[in-house]
Amino acid sequence: MTVNTQLLKIGVICSVLSALTTTVLMYGPDAPAVADFDAIQQLHQNGLHLYKKWILFFHPQFAFIAALAAATVLFKRSAALVGIGIFYLAVWTITEMSQQAYLIDALNQMWRPAYLSADGVDKELWRTMIMGLRGLSDSQYFVLLFSFGTGSILMGCAFLSEKSLGRIIGVITLSIGVTSLLAFSGYYAGAAFVSPVIGFWYTWVYGPLQIGVRLLLGFWLFKQINAVSSRATKNSL
């Protein structure tokens, strides 16, 4: 796989953008919690409820493009790990985008307004569709969590063959992938014993670690640009 400096530059930008979107998703304000079903449906016109869904639509795109840029550097040394890892990260990206599209469009632009304006039998039909979307959205989370965890493990292992900064990125990415699969086993495979660890991880560790590793990846990609430019200069002499 050829290392393309233009892709690396785009990767730097996208890696920084993925760090920014992670920061907003983890620490940005949320709409006040409501318990009543009808009150929840009113959230379709609440900007504090909707904005994170839009960010979640774009966030995996930024992260995947950054990973793709890194893959062009790592592929020569770890082709199997990178090739399969990128496949799983692509599945994660597409699944998360489609999950948020359902929530933004089908749920909040169509079904919730239709439910609130309907009466009688029609209202119950819309209620059934809204309730059914929970299962669909959670099934998509099933796929995206497994894919993100697996892709992160494989890409993390590929980074371990790098030196210094690359190896640090590898260790962090690997730990994120392992913990994601542990969360998957707790949510969907009945491994309830991991719940305290996962709760602590997502409350105190995950946010700073994800933001940090995405910034580190951007810096690593920037260094790769300089390395490619240096090699090109030497070859031209």
Confidence of residue 83 (pLDDT cuts 50, 70, 90): very high
The b-or-e profile of 179-198 (16+ CB within 10 A means b, else e) is bbbbbbbbbeeeeeebeeeb
Q: 2 or 103: whose pLDDT is higher?
A: 103
**Would you give the distance in Å from CA 112 to the centre of its chain?**
26
Query: How high is the mean pLDDT of the chain?
Result: 95
Cα separation, 71 vs 139, whole angstroms: 28
pLDDT of residue 236: 58
Yes or no: say if 22 and 59 are a contact pair by the CB < 8 Å rule: yes
Q: Token digits for 226?
A: 């300089």
Lowest mean pLDDT among 32-36, 201-205, 232-236: 232-236
pLDDT digits (tens, 9 = 90+) for 121-177: 999 999 999 999 999 999 999 999 999 999 999 999 999 999 899 999 999 999 999
- Per-residue pLDDT, averaged over 43-66, amounts to 97
Phi, psi of 185 (to 5 degrees): -65, -35
Residue the block writes with tokens 């709409």: 31
Cα separation, 191 vs 179, whole angstroms: 13
The one-letter amino acid at 234: K
Confidence of residue 233 (pLDDT cuts 50, 70, 90): low
Other beta carbons within 10 Å of 157 = 18
For residue 29, give every residue at least 6 positions away whose Cβ sits within 8 Å of its Cβ, in sequence order, or none.
48
pLDDT digits (tens, 9 = 90+) for 168-201: 999 999 999 999 999 999 999 999 999 999 999 9
Q: Token digits for 79?
A: 């082709």
Number of H helices, E strands in the chain: 9, 0
- Per-residue pLDDT, averaged over 100-122, amounts to 97
Can you give the residue ranges of every domain in the chain? 5-236
pLDDT of residue 227: 85
Q: What is the DSSP letter of 112?
A: H
Q: Is the pLDDT of residue 237 over 60?
A: no
Share of the chain above pLDDT 90, in %: 92
